[in-house]
């Protein structure tokens, strides 16, 4: 059963400008494992974090770093949630996540399905 679906699109250059303008922003948005990635990959991960929030109904109190996108086998994106995001997902009956990321032409997109 699908518990929620979320999608988000991020302008890669706009995120780059925000990160350059606010040096601490990267540390608030991304985990240590995510921070060293190229800007298009960071934009896709930020889109994924937004998509996760949307799949959960966009409640207040979620933290960006509590949703992390890692690389699984063969480079497949893998979503790891913890803290308030994990607690809310569990309360809503989410048992698994499906995640797709892409970036091209200056735009990054993420699509998330929360399955129960």
pLDDT per residue over 92-114, tens digit each?
Answer: 999 999 999 999 999 999 999 99
- What's the rounded Cα separation, in Å, for the pair 19 and 70? 20
Q: Which CATH number does 2-115 carry? A: 3.90.470.20
What's the pLDDT score for residue 97? 98
Q: With contact defined as beta carbons under 8 Å apart, do 43 and 91 qualify? A: no
pLDDT per residue over 47-81, tens digit each?
Answer: 999 999 999 998 888 999 999 999 998 989 999 99
Strand partners, 109: 9, 102
Give the N- to C-terminal CA distance of the chain in Å, as an integer: 5
User: Which residues fall within 8 angstroms of residue 25, CB to CB, at 6 or more apart?
Assistant: 18, 19
- What's the rounded Cα separation, in Å, for the pair 13 and 40? 9
What's the pLDDT score for residue 67? 97
């Amino acid at each position: 059963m699908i518990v929620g679906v979320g999608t988000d699109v991020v302008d890669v250059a706009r995120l780059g400008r925000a990160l350059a303008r606010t040096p601490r922003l990267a540390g608030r948005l991304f985990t240590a494992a995510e921070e060293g990635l190229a800007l298009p990959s960071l934009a896709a991960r930020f889109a994924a974090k937004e998509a996760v929030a949307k799949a959960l109904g966009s409640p207040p109190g979620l933290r960006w770093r509590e949703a992390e996108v890692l690389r699984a086998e063969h480079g497949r994106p893998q979503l790891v949630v913890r803290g308030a995001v994990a607690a809310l997902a569990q309360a809503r009956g989410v048992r698994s996540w499906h995640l797709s990321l892409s970036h091209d032409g200056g735009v990054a997109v993420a699509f998330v399905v929360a399955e129960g």
